[in-house]
Chains A and B, each alone.
Chain A
Amino acid sequence: MRILSALFRHPSGRIGVIIIGLYLLAALLAALGLTPHNALKMFAIDRMKPPSSTYWMGTDLLGRDTFSRLMLGIGQSLNIAFAAVACAALAGTTIGLLSAWWGAPWDGLMMRIMDVLLAFPAILLALLIIAIVGPGTFTSVTAIAIVYTPIFARVVRGPALSLKQRDFVDAARTFGSSQRYVLTRHLLLNLVAPLAVQVTLALAWALLTEAGLSFLGLGTQPPTPSLGLMLAESKNLMQQAPWLMLFPALTIMLGILGFNLTGDALRDILDPRTQGRTA
């Protein structure tokens, strides 16, 4: 709660939290079926209608309500982003912590494996995974999780190595605390700050990657609405129905902006040395 109120006092943090809050609300309402129209139902008589009081953001080629589809799309994108980042954070943190704790030779081996994964541009690694497993929601989660695991491992390993040398860790070991206790209570708890920042920024990347994969037709598959897919479908209709392109484009941008603003604000709050340094 203290962090949330600090975020609200931070100028860009406030905007970021409000955007994320609105997106979560839209996703929740969509999950409860509380969209203005049925997002999957086609209203043949109302095809490609511009924004109006009935259809706030117009309708698509099949007569489906854009606003309702965007609400579902936000839910789908957030689900994938949260699941992927949770997996990446869990796997990366475990690898980073154990590497730092165990030291050589495991540390060297684990970090070289992470280096190999980092040798691929993110979208390329994701494409390679999709080539193996085939496109779909589960693949998107797996691909994004694998791409971001090494980043979490690196973010955790550095500070964990220096924490390992600290007196309080030595003291805990001398008092006979178990390895698990020292790792979770003394190391992990002290890493919450950099992890929180990394999770928020990773959520922005995950949203971007998910939208990108769906845009290429390799992520979420129709008829499930997805922001990237909606943007891709609008490409050929941009002259006749520009709203089909503008609303998904703005929704993707705003979502990523929300997480980026929150991530930067968190970094400012949790690490006062960077105060005002991040643009």
Chain B
Amino acid sequence: MTYLAKRLLTFPLILLGVSVLVFLSIRLIPGDAITAMLGTEAGMLTPDQRASLAAYFGIDKPIWSQYLSWLGGLFQGDLGISKIYAKPVMTVILERFPLTLELALLSMVIALTIGVPLGVLAATRNGRPSDLGVRLLAMIGQSTPSFVLGVLIIFVLSVYFGFVPAMGTFTPLFQDPLANLGQLIFPAITLGFAFAASVTRISRSAMLDVLSEDYVRTARAKGVSTMSVVWHHALPNALIPVVTLSGVEFGYLLGGAVIVEQIFALPGLGRLVLDAIGQRDYALVQGTVLFIAFNFLVVNLLVDLAYAVLDPRIRLGGR
């Protein structure tokens, strides 16, 4: 069986596993659902009232039956009702998702714009001071947690420029593109920095591999200019691992940059999970976590498909 067919067949299985894990983990939380929903008022319920509420929400049934009915709801896009927002969980998620998606895209653009040229530069100057400089910068970038960089950016902006980035609100892109960019640019730089460092490292190492290949030597021997060898012959092949890395990182970012959204007070998916955990809105925790894991899996699958298109050895089951 080819690698791709295997990958496509295991995808629904893993998705099912993820749904079981999310469902069971929420049920492992100490305390029952009625107390979580009503808080201290749950203590005033008579046993009869409690039993009828349990029957109403279906939590008196065995766990497997609860899971099946939850799964049935999932197929219809029903993730339950959020306690804190008093709205369907799916509606709340879809309200927050555009911000997270835009932030992830913007961070990726920043990372690729900086990372690929730096990686190529370092590889073509292997061992020289500029290569060492790029490698050092990349290592520092990878070792700087986003929350450290985020706090440092806010510090520099507020102390040295007297400027505090707009926080707490979000203007949709199509409503006011400039205001939108003003709100997202610093969080995107924060996320894009470490991402760029990974892209730099992987582009450099892939370029070094490709530059030592026979076809590159042949192109050089034919008298093709260095620029053309690097950008036309070597780079397209060196980009394959960059595509994989960017896809995986993008998948992570779609899960909401929990900490960066928290620092810049952005109402995205990551912050939604955090708030839902803090306020014990379990339907929301369950729905959001599942939505994020689903996105992550889909992006990873797409990356594998793209990888197979770019590298025929994988498509033919050579891996």
A residues near B, CB below 8 A? Answer: 12, 112-113, 115-117, 119-121, 123-124, 127-132, 204, 208, 211-212, 215-216, 228, 231, 234-235, 238-239, 242, 245, 249, 252-254, 256-257, 260-261, 264, 276-279
Q: In the complex, what residues of A have CB within 8 A of residue B134's CB?
A: 279
Whether A256 contacts B145 by the Cβ 8 Å rule is yes
Set of chain A residues within 8 Å of B277, measured between Cβ atoms: 127, 130-131
Given A119-B293, A124-B273, residue A279 in contact with residue B151 (CB < 8 A): no
**Which A-chain residue is minimally distant from B122 (CB atoms)?**
A279
| Contact, CB under 8 Å: B258 / A112 | no
How near does chain A come to B301, taking the closest CB pair, in angstroms?
11
* CB atoms of B292 and A252 under 8 A apart: no
Knowing A12-B139, A239-B158, the reply to whether A131 touches B29 (Cβ < 8 A) is: yes
Most chain B CB atoms below 10 A, which of A12, A117, A235: A235
Judge whether B106 is part of the interface by a CB distance below 8 angstroms. no
Task: State which of A112, A121, A131 has its C-beta within 8 Å of the C-beta of B252.
Answer: A121
Ordered nearest first, which 10 A-B pairs have the shortest CB separation? A116-B17, A257-B143, A121-B255, A279-B201, A256-B143, A279-B135, A131-B277, A277-B205, A249-B148, A121-B252
Q: Distance in Å from the Cβ of B319 to the closest Cβ of chain A?
A: 11
Docked-complex contact B285 and A131, CB < 8 angstroms: yes
- In the bound complex, residues from chain A placing their C-beta under 8 Å from that of B127 are 276
Report the bound CA distance from A76 to B154 in whole Å: 27
Assess whether B139 is in contact with A231, with CB atoms less than 8 Å apart.
no
User: What CA separation (Å) do A115 and B14 show in the bound complex?
Assistant: 7
Check B25–A252 contact: CB distance below 8 A: no
Closest to A135 in B: B277
* Residues 290-319 (chain B) with a chain A CB within 8 angstroms: 292-293, 296-297
Cβ–Cβ contact B10 & A115, under 8 A: yes
Complex formed: what's the CA distance from A186 to B107 in Å? 45
Q: Is B21 on the interface with A (CB-CB < 8 A)?
A: yes
Please determine whether A116 and B201 come into contact, CB atoms closer than 8 angstroms: no
Q: Assuming A115-B10, A132-B25, A216-B258, what are 10 further A-B pairs, CB within 8 angstroms?
A: A12-B139, A121-B255, A131-B29, A211-B145, A239-B159, A245-B155, A249-B152, A256-B144, A260-B139, A279-B119
On chain B, the number of residues with a Cβ less than 8 Å from chain A's Cβ atoms is: 56
- Residues of A within 8 Å of B35, CB to CB, are none
Return the chain B residue nearest A235 by Cβ. B151
B65 at the interface (CB under 8 A from A): no
Selected from B10, B119, B158, B259, the residue in CB contact (under 8 A) with A216 is B259
Query: Who on chain B is nearest to A252 by CB?
Result: B148
Chain B residues contacting A204 (CB-CB under 8 Å) are: 143
18 contacts between A and B (CB under 8 A): A115-B10, A116-B21, A120-B293, A127-B277, A128-B25, A129-B25, A208-B145, A212-B259, A216-B258, A235-B154, A235-B263, A252-B148, A253-B140, A253-B144, A260-B139, A276-B127, A277-B205, A277-B208
Q: Given the complex of chains A and B, what is the CA–CA distance between A12 and B251 in angstroms?
A: 31
The answer, yes or no, to whether B60 is at the interface (CB within 8 Å) is: no
B205-A278 in contact (CB<8A): yes
Q: Please report which residues of chain B, range 101-137, place their CB below 8 angstroms from some CB of chain A when the two chains form the complex.
A: 119, 122, 126-127, 134-135
| B227 on interface, CB distance cutoff 8 Å | no
Residues of chain A lying within 8 A (CB to CB) of residue B21? 116-117
CB distance from B201 to the nearest CB of A (A): 4
Interface hits, B254-296 → A, CB 8 Å? 255-256, 258-259, 262-263, 273-274, 277, 285, 289, 292-293, 296
